């Protein structure tokens, strides 16, 4: 037998004063927390524990009762606690020394109320009350009604009993796991545990053969753990109590339960709330609060002067079933199997509940991003369409413009064609004459035929070039050599220049200039610029009549320069010459340069106009060199 904690109320005065002072201060502080002024004298409460202060399930009842007492008490309280460790032993030694110890502590300064927690403490209090506290009210709480010695109850006693219903507890197992074939009952070997084993056996008799019951009461806890880890399917474990196992080893029951839970391959059931929440599946059970609220009500009543005999409670049965969601998941128990009115606790919040804000944020970011991406894709498609469309429009416009340009070339083309055709005619006539001779000079005739062929090729070339320029083709991008392309355009317009008595010279650079684009459209630009240059010279009247076209490489750009010796542009017109419909010519359309600039920009190039210091205009085209 041993006493745990406890200051003697009598004894060293200084210690007592200090104890009281501390108790009053602590109580006052606690009371302050609920803003309840403490008044009156100190009330002394003696709490007797059954197995130890930390032994479940009683430890949880005691904790709740003390907390509630302190919360509700209008008086400062001094709660002293003692534990009867002998309840664990099969052969307890003599209790007398412990009784005497308590007697010496409390004689002359009786507690105002004694609270016994659990059956062994209840029995001890009843047995020794005459010696220890004959007139002190006794509250027997957290005790099963079968364990109360009713014959020994006095008017000074209040019983807050519970009623175990093992049939309900076992039916719960069959309700939630209907395939259960056997239930292994875990229970220790102390006198109290032995009592309960017999009670369970007796109560469950009516269940008959429905479920096989296996008793672990004669096993060491170590052996119990081993067996629990290898249970056959359709077995459940029923947790009774484990204070002392068959090997005589003492256990803190909640620690033992946790070890069992860690290894067991079957679900564990119990009917006590203190075991619920860590390891057991759940079912109908005793709730701590139901016992604790009645106990505290009785204690406060008694401390306030109520007669214990006037306080009467029926034994408290199981509360509505409660289940641990995590255990239901673990053992695959569907919630549809739970009896109506059941409460499921410890649900783990799902990902949505746990990370709702994060998920919403990420989804929002995704949505915005998806919106942006689809917006950009849509925009890109629209731009592509627009580009293709504008190129087609440009090609059509350029084609129309080409007709008007070529119209201006009619004289030169006619001249170009007339010349070879005229030569062919003359040569053919000469050949005829030669053939009429008796001995025709074959060599000369051969020479004439060669000339005819050359002239024919010249005429064909003119027609080919013309067709190439007038061909209606969509804007197509290819790699071409700029010097040759410019040269061909000059070939077309050369005769016009000759007809106008203008010297048209071409100075291509000696290096190849490969650019990307549509060569026909570029030729059109060159033709436009040359015709404009020739127009400017014609307008200027007398003076030098020269148009010079040159190409060169400037960095990674190809450059075409077209200069003339005309009158140049008025300073105010310089900025406007590329505007559509800007013209200073009576018959002009003002579209030539506008189209030229559009074509050059479609080739990612630039075109600019300037006046030369010596007079005349300079047009510069720059195009990126193809890599
Ligand atoms: P159009 O030839 O039908 O007038 P353009 O767009 O080809 O249309 O030319 C616009 C105007 O730019 C011309 O009317 C002229 O005033 C000016 N211009 C173009 N080239 C030259 C040049 N080489 N010298 C002087 N002015 C020019």
**How far is the centre of ligand 1, averaged over its atoms, from the C-alpha of 490 (Å)?**
19
Distance of CA 618 to the CA centre of its chain: 64
Same domain, 87 and 174: no
Which residue's C-alpha comes closest to atom 17 of ligand 1? Answer: 577
Which residue's C-alpha comes closest to atom 26 of ligand 1? Answer: 569
Ligand 1 contacts CB of residue 532 (under 6 A): yes
Ligand 1 contacts CB of residue 283 (under 6 A): no
> Is the confidence at residue 409, as pLDDT, over 80?
no
Count of Cβ atoms closer than 10 Å to residue 132 Cβ: 22
Same domain, 327 and 220: yes
* pLDDT value, residue 511: 94
**How far is the centre of ligand 1, averaged over its atoms, from the C-alpha of 578 (Å)?**
9
> Is the confidence at residue 88, as pLDDT, over 70?
no
Which residue's C-alpha comes closest to atom 7 of ligand 1? Answer: 592
Pick the more confident residue, 256 or 411.
Answer: 256
Q: Which of 100-109, 118-127, 314-323, 515-524 has the highest mean pLDDT?
A: 314-323
Average pLDDT of the chain to the nearest whole number? 86
Instruction: Please give the backbone phi and psi of residue 612, each rounded to the nearest 5 degrees, phi first.
Output: -80, 145
Instruction: Please give the backbone phi and psi of residue 591, each rounded to the nearest 5 degrees, phi first.
Output: -110, -20
CA–CA separation, 187 and 193 (whole Å): 6
Atom of ligand 1 nearest to the CA of 588: 3
**How far is the centre of ligand 1, averaged over its atoms, from the C-alpha of 411 (Å)?**
21
Ligand 1 contacts CB of residue 583 (under 6 A): yes
Rg (CA), the chain: 57
254: in domain:
yes
- Total number of domains in the chain: 3
pLDDT per position as a tens digit, 303-361: 999 999 888 899 999 999 999 999 999 999 999 999 999 999 998 877 887 888 889 99
Asked which of 78-87, 123-132, 298-307, 471-480 is least confident by mean pLDDT, the reply is 471-480
CA–CA separation, 157 and 165 (whole Å): 25
**Residue 339: which CATH number?**
3.40.50.2300
Pick the last residue of a domain from 108, 143, 162: 162
241: in domain:
yes
**How far is the centre of ligand 1, averaged over its atoms, from the C-alpha of 71 (Å)?**
103
Averaged pLDDT for residues 370-378: 94
pLDDT above 70 coverage of the chain, percent:
87
CA–CA separation, 394 and 400 (whole Å): 10
Averaged pLDDT for residues 288-305: 95
* pLDDT value, residue 372: 94
Same domain, 110 and 60: yes
CA–CA separation, 90 and 79 (whole Å): 30
> Is the confidence at residue 15, as pLDDT, over 50?
no
> Is the confidence at residue 35, as pLDDT, over 60?
no
| Structure tokens, 198 | 């017999």
Ligand 1 contacts CB of residue 592 (under 6 A): yes
Same domain, 595 and 615: yes
Ligand 1 contacts CB of residue 580 (under 6 A): no
* pLDDT value, residue 241: 85
613: in domain:
yes
302: in domain:
no
420: in domain:
no
Which residue's C-alpha comes closest to atom 19 of ligand 1? Answer: 532
254 contacts: CB under 8 Å, gap ≥ 6 = 56, 274, 275, 278
> Is the confidence at residue 28, as pLDDT, over 50?
no
Averaged pLDDT for residues 232-251: 90
* pLDDT value, residue 577: 94
Which residue's C-alpha comes closest to atom 8 of ligand 1? Answer: 590
Ligand 1 contacts CB of residue 537 (under 6 A): no
**How far is the centre of ligand 1, averaged over its atoms, from the C-alpha of 529 (Å)?**
8
Mutate which of 577, 594, 598, 621 to test ligand 1's pocket (most atoms within 8 Å of Cβ)? 577
307: in domain:
no
Same domain, 82 and 204: no
How do strand 212-215 and strand 182-187 relate by DSSP bridges? parallel
Asked which of 128-137, 346-355, 550-559 is least confident by mean pLDDT, the reply is 346-355
> Is the confidence at residue 160, as pLDDT, over 90?
yes
pLDDT per position as a tens digit, 585-624: 888 888 889 889 988 988 999 999 999 999 999 999 999 9
pLDDT per position as a tens digit, 166-214: 999 999 999 999 999 999 999 998 888 888 999 999 998 887 777 899 9
Pick the last residue of a domain from 162, 192, 225: 162
Same domain, 479 and 555: yes
Atom of ligand 1 nearest to the CA of 593: 6
151: in domain:
yes
The parent domain of residue 122 ranges over 38-162
> Is the confidence at residue 288, as pLDDT, over 50?
yes
| Largest CA-CA distance found in the chain, in angstroms, rounded | 176
Pick the more confident residue, 417 or 276.
Answer: 276
**How far is the centre of ligand 1, averaged over its atoms, from the C-alpha of 532 (Å)?**
6
Ligand 1 contacts CB of residue 533 (under 6 A): yes
339: in domain:
yes
Asked which of 67-71, 503-507, 545-549, 579-583 is least confident by mean pLDDT, the reply is 579-583
Averaged pLDDT for residues 231-257: 89
Atom of ligand 1 nearest to the CA of 587: 3
Pick the last residue of a domain from 162, 193, 228: 162
Same domain, 134 and 96: yes
Ligand 1 contacts CB of residue 547 (under 6 A): no
> Is the confidence at residue 57, as pLDDT, over 70?
yes
Same domain, 592 and 511: yes
> Is the confidence at residue 3, as pLDDT, over 50?
no
**Residue 574: which CATH number?**
3.30.565.10
Is the pTM here over 0.75, yes or no?
Answer: no
Same domain, 173 and 134: no
Asked which of 42-51, 211-220, 531-540 is least confident by mean pLDDT, the reply is 531-540
Alpha-carbon distance values, 624 to 104, 333, 389, 402, 557 (Å):
112, 76, 23, 24, 5
**How far is the centre of ligand 1, averaged over its atoms, from the C-alpha of 534 (Å)?**
10
> Is the confidence at residue 91, as pLDDT, over 90?
no
Same domain, 152 and 206: no
Asked which of 41-45, 46-50, 416-420, 552-556 is least confident by mean pLDDT, the reply is 416-420
Same domain, 220 and 264: yes
**Residue environment code for 583-616, b if the CB has 16+ CB neighbours within 10 A, otherwise e:** eeeeeeeebbbbbbbbbbebbebebebeeeeeeb
pLDDT per position as a tens digit, 437-454: 888 889 999 999 999 999
Mutate which of 532, 545, 594, 621 to test ligand 1's pocket (most atoms within 8 Å of Cβ)? 532
Ligand 1 contacts CB of residue 568 (under 6 A): yes
Pick the more confident residue, 541 or 523.
Answer: 523
Continuous segment of H or E residues that includes residue 515? strand 514-517
Averaged pLDDT for residues 550-563: 96
Same domain, 148 and 172: no
> Is the confidence at residue 252, as pLDDT, over 90?
no
Pick the more confident residue, 250 or 481.
Answer: 481
* pLDDT value, residue 473: 65
**How far is the centre of ligand 1, averaged over its atoms, from the C-alpha of 547 (Å)?**
15
């Amino acid at each position: 037998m041993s006493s745990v904690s406890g200051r003697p109320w009598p004894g060293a005065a200084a210690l007592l004063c200090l104890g009281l002072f501390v108790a009053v201060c602590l109580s006052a502080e606690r009371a302050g927390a609920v803003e309840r002024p403490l008044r009156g004298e100190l009330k002394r409460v003696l709490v007797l524990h059954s197995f130890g202060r930390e032994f479940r399930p009683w430890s949880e009842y005691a904790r709740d009762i003390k907390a509630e007492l302190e919360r509700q008490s209008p008086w400062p309280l001094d709660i002293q606690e003692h534990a009867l460790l002998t309840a664990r032993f099969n052969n307890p030694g003599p209790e007398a020394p412990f009784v005497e110890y308590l007697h010496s502590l409390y004689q002359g300064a009786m507690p105002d109320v004694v609270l016994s927690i659990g059956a062994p403490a209840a029995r001890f209090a009843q047995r020794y009350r005459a010696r220890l506290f004959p007139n002190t009210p006794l509250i027997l709480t957290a005790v099963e009604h079968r364990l109360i010695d009713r014959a020994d109850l006095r008017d000074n006693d209040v019983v807050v009993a519970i009623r175990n219903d093992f049939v309900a507890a076992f039916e719960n197992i069959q309700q939630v796991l209907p395939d259960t074939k056997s239930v292994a009952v875990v229970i220790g070997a102390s006198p109290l545990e032995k009592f309960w084993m017999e009670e369970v056996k007796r109560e469950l008799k009516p269940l008959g053969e429905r479920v096989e019951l296996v008793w672990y009461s004669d096993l060491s806890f170590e052996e119990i753990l081993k067996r629990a880890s290898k249970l056959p399917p359709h077995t459940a474990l029923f947790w009774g109590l484990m204070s002392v196992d068959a090997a005589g080893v003492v256990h803190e029951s909640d620690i033992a339960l946790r070890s069992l839970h860690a290894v067991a391959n079957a679900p564990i059931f119990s009917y006590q709330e203190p075991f619920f929440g860590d390891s057991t599946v759940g079912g109908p059970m005793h709730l701590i609060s139901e016992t604790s609220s009645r106990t505290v009500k009785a204690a406060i009543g008694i401390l306030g002067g109520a007669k214990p005999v006037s306080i009467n409670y029926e034994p408290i049965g199981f509360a509505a079933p409660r289940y641990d969601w995590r255990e239901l998941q673990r053992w695959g128990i569907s919630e549809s199997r739970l009896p109506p009115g059941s409460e499921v606790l410890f649900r783990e919040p799902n990902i949505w509940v746990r990370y709702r804000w994060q998920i919403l944020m990420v989804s929002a970011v995704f949505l915005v991003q998806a919106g942006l991406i689809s917006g950009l894709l849509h925009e890109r498609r629209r731009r592509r369409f627009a580009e293709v469309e504008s190129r087609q429009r440009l090609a059509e416009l350029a084609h129309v413009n080409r007709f008007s340009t070529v119209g201006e070339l009619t004289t030169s083309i006619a001249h170009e064609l007339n010349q070879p055709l005229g030569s062919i005619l003359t040569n053919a006539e000469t050949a005829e004459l030669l053939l009429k001779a008796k001995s025709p000079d074959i060599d000369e005739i051969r020479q004439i035929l060669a000339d005819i062929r050359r002239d024919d090729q010249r005429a064909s070339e003119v027609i080919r070039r013309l067709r190439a320029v007038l061909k209606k083709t969509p804007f197509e991008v290819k790699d071409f050599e700029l010097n040759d392309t410019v040269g061909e355009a000059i070939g077309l317009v050369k005769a016009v220049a000759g007809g106008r008595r203008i010297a048209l010279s071409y100075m291509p650079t000696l290096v190849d200039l490969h650019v990307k684009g549509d060569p026909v459209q570029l030729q059109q630009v060159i033709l436009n610029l040359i015709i404009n240059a020739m127009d400017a010279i014609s307008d200027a009247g007398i003076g030098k009549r020269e148009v010079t076209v040159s190409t060169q490489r400037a960095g990674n750009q190809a450059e075409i320069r077209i200069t003339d010796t005309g009158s140049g542009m008025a300073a105010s017109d310089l900025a406007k010459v590329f505007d559509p419909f800007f013209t200073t010519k009576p018959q002009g359309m003002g579209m030539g340069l506008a189209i030229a600039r559009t074509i050059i920009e479609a080739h990612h190039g630039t075109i600019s106009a300037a006046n030369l210091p010596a007079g005349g205009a300079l047009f510069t085209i720059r195009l990126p060199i193809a890599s």
